[in-house]
Structure 1
């Protein structure tokens, strides 16, 4: 919702307003607001007005605007559009149970309509603290215009509570009042709110207010086409994506594609990889697909890999740091030398990754002490009888390479990838007659401890001659 709100606001040179709707105190959580700021900020979806930065219509927390709503409630009561309801929760539960048993439409039975407090107190199921309900007419506005869906029909609402016994408004009243007072022109929300829109339109009509335009977005669905939820899919929790190693720009790209067609290049071809700015520039509500999209993590993983490869190497290395620190590959304050080595490693692994969480396993061999390198079981299992001869040949020719004047990743003279590859191919492929696809497996295992690793010759260059030879000798001694 925030993505599409913001894309439209930026295109129209408007304001994107972040309002915290916290009137449901039973579901209130202290940390929710901070998480909201953190995750939207991580995605780069920054707001123009909000509780943390203020704005011309502050405050932006509904719990701090209670005095704003009271006059509207009093006006609705005075003009007969609303009434007090003293029914207890027990009575309401019994009423709904009876309606369900007799297969009647569920909804409030209007026992309190037209009664004074004393008249209602004489009847069963009385609660001393009343709520305020809307008095829905016989002809509520059930058809309205939606900028995504066109003409939309909604079911007839019941007498919705608009002010609770604790003095807090419900969502329905609060959003109508706040949208009016804050000058909101477009309300973008999920399609589950279509059934509530007639209530809001009635409130606008009764209060003599101009309603905003409505856009009801499709709900995301699981692979089984059920509504996406935290119980069925961890991806419903936004922080999960950061934990799993997705880039925010890839997630924004993916979320846009879920309900919007790809961008077009000059020749009219579909372009699925694009930035938020490109999305915003061409945004059009009429192109939004109202059918609930399937949340395909495989597609997101592919997009993430594309965005990873598009990053400058230095920035890519910096994106890896939190994951490396969390996995104890690097300290929280790495030295300049470690950062330089990390950037060199990043250049090797950037094209091989789909998720940033894959980095620790690939990077760790470059930062672990030679005598602490563990050999994975699957890597050791693939060693063949000729592994000893391969390592012996490598030790011999690599020992003859001058390690002075070393370049970085194949540049310069001395110990570099080009010299290493030439020496090893001569000694092992030509000298021992081993096919290239089998020739370097034992060396890869010795250097990285893994069966699959970054490019071997570049890895050896980064590790340096001393570490490379030490690791080869260690594996040779263990055979």
Structure 2
């Protein structure tokens, strides 16, 4: 192959959400191009009109942008080889299909779907699906039937003997017997190309050097190669990626949980963590033992040689761990904004200390979606049960807690400044002066403030988050509740 700039393309069909497998293809295509200072192209394959979903193109743009996978050419920014939407290239496909027919490498087929179905069993050949009924009809008959307005498709004329081989950058040399290849449809009767045909034409015209896709497409690759040969075009590199499976070893699907980018984001995962996780679905960085890589770092270290053949396991436990790491190292200002966006709807009119809340949550949160449950106490003012104050280990019950809060309340009310340091000093002093164990004081205070036993921070942090007025008001209500119930 002659030396030329590395060019890859992400060519999704606008059929809805972006699944993990599609996003992995986009990521690897992006990284292969960027690692070699090449170009990453976006092409929209919208030729399957039955599966087209309105708004799906916007999902593609948004997902790539959130993941940082910025394309160098595409429908929205143009480029030297546009248009980049297949439905705008129909005349090109017709031109190249007609060329194959004139060369004898393709032929018109007038068989209806009903005819093919009826003859599948009775006239089955060694190939599958279609019995090549129209393969050898004369030019005169073709002209007569097309002039009469008969509907037809254009099929590729596969060789009936011999074999076709190709080299894949991951799986090595693969050979198939030509007699096993069906005379596939290239151009449908409505003038739209099939997926395989449009890909070959577009990849050549857009100068794509590396075709990256799932290993399920290995079986169709010989058909691609034969098309390239028929046109006399240079065959690009093929990079087939291993299957993605769940932890049960079965192909990843909705039964395993969220399998689309949007679902994962809605579940509280950060785009950076999702990208990092997906990078490891079939690839390893060689001797580098790190597991956390920024996109920029991946651009520098990624290489096709690191892609393996074994099925890649999508582990939600691993994704949880990665998400935690990204939250822990996130700049505090960025983290605070994320907390505010999540917390404000939960707090409604309840005042709170955002900085303290963000500090408390950052080392404890796994997913952003955990935050609402973790801070639910901020809108729950009244204890719902005396059992909240029971702590066997601290030898604490509701009556004991009531006595402790009764003694603490005037001390807290008289406190000059409401901050973590002063609250800590006051409570330590109270333990000594009142002869009460620290665990009993903290347990009583936490339950009285939060109306629950478990909070993301301790009693003092909870008091700071709520602020002086809200904290004292809650403790007063808790005391009334404990005395009356």
- Report if aligned partners of 2:340, 2:354 keep a CA contact under 8 Å in 1: no
Q: Distance in 2 between matches of 1:34 and 1:437?
A: 54
Determine the structure 1 residue equivalent to 2:278: 255
1:27 match: secondary structure: coil
Q: Pairwise mapping of residues 426-445 of structure 1 onto structure 2 (< 5 A)?
A: 426-428=429-431, 431-434=434-437, 436-445=438-447
Structure 1: which 5+ residue stretches go unaligned?
403-413
Q: Distance in 2 between matches of 1:108 and 1:395?
A: 85
Shift of 1:141: 5.1
- Report if aligned partners of 1:317, 1:346 keep a CA contact under 8 Å in 2: yes
- Report if aligned partners of 1:87, 1:127 keep a CA contact under 8 Å in 2: no
TM-score by length of 2: 0.85
Aligned counterpart in structure 1 of residue 354 of structure 2, from 342, 345, 353: 342
Shift of 1:208: 0.6
* Higher normalized contact order (CA 8 Å, seq sep 6+, divided by chain length): 2
- Report if aligned partners of 1:83, 1:133 keep a CA contact under 8 Å in 2: yes
Aligned counterpart in structure 2 of residue 391 of structure 1, from 384, 391, 405: 405
Shift of 1:132: 0.6
Q: Would you say 1:31 and 2:71 are equivalent positions?
A: no
Q: Would you say 1:147 and 2:161 are equivalent positions?
A: no
- Report if aligned partners of 1:112, 1:120 keep a CA contact under 8 Å in 2: no
Determine the structure 1 residue equivalent to 2:96: 72
Moved more, 302-311 or 148-157: 148-157
Q: Would you say 1:464 and 2:467 are equivalent positions?
A: yes
Shift of 1:275: 1.0
Q: Distance in 1 between matches of 2:421 and 2:478?
A: 24
What do residues 44-68 of structure 1 show as CA deviations (whole Å, max 9, x unaligned)? 2121111122111111110110011
Describe the shift of the 1:342–1:154 C-alpha distance in structure 2 as closer, same or farther (beyond 3 A).
farther
- Report if aligned partners of 2:163, 2:175 keep a CA contact under 8 Å in 1: no
Q: Distance in 2 between matches of 1:365 and 1:127?
A: 73
Q: Pairwise mapping of residues 16-415 of structure 1 onto structure 2 (< 5 A)?
A: 16-96=40-120, 106-116=128-138, 128-139=150-161, 142-154=164-176, 156-230=180-254, 232-262=255-285, 270-324=289-343, 328-329=345-346, 341-366=353-378, 368=379, 373=381, 375=383, 380=388, 382=390, 384-385=397-398, 386-402=400-416, 414-415=417-418
- Report if aligned partners of 1:20, 1:51 keep a CA contact under 8 Å in 2: yes
- Report if aligned partners of 1:314, 1:343 keep a CA contact under 8 Å in 2: no
Describe the shift of the 1:330–1:90 C-alpha distance in structure 2 as closer, same or farther (beyond 3 A).
farther
- Report if aligned partners of 2:125, 2:131 keep a CA contact under 8 Å in 1: no
Q: Distance in 2 between matches of 1:320 and 1:140?
A: 64
1:259 match: secondary structure: coil
What do residues 324-382 of structure 1 show as CA deviations (whole Å, max 9, x unaligned)? 46xx2267xx9xx97x932331111100000001112334545x4xxx63546697374
Describe the shift of the 1:212–1:415 C-alpha distance in structure 2 as closer, same or farther (beyond 3 A).
same
1:133 match: secondary structure: strand
- Report if aligned partners of 2:401, 2:444 keep a CA contact under 8 Å in 1: yes
Q: Distance in 2 between matches of 1:463 and 1:54?
A: 53
Q: Would you say 1:425 and 2:433 are equivalent positions?
A: no
Q: Distance in 1 between matches of 2:102 and 2:245?
A: 44
2:108 match: secondary structure: strand
Q: Distance in 2 between matches of 1:313 and 1:146?
A: 45
What do residues 205-260 of structure 1 show as CA deviations (whole Å, max 9, x unaligned)? 00010111110011211223222234x34422221011001011111111112222
Q: Distance in 1 between matches of 2:314 and 2:277?
A: 9
Describe the shift of the 1:118–1:222 C-alpha distance in structure 2 as closer, same or farther (beyond 3 A).
farther
1:45 match: secondary structure: coil
Moved more, 192-201 or 22-31: 22-31
Describe the shift of the 1:178–1:377 C-alpha distance in structure 2 as closer, same or farther (beyond 3 A).
farther
Q: Distance in 2 between matches of 1:17 and 1:376?
A: 58
1:352 match: secondary structure: coil
What do residues 288-319 of structure 1 show as CA deviations (whole Å, max 9, x unaligned)? 12211111101100110110011111101222
- Report if aligned partners of 1:20, 1:61 keep a CA contact under 8 Å in 2: yes
Q: Distance in 2 between matches of 1:245 and 1:251?
A: 11
1:216 match: secondary structure: strand
RMSD value over aligned CA atoms? 2.9
1:183 match: secondary structure: coil
Q: Distance in 1 between matches of 2:150 and 2:386?
A: 72
- Report if aligned partners of 1:51, 1:58 keep a CA contact under 8 Å in 2: yes
2:39 match: secondary structure: coil
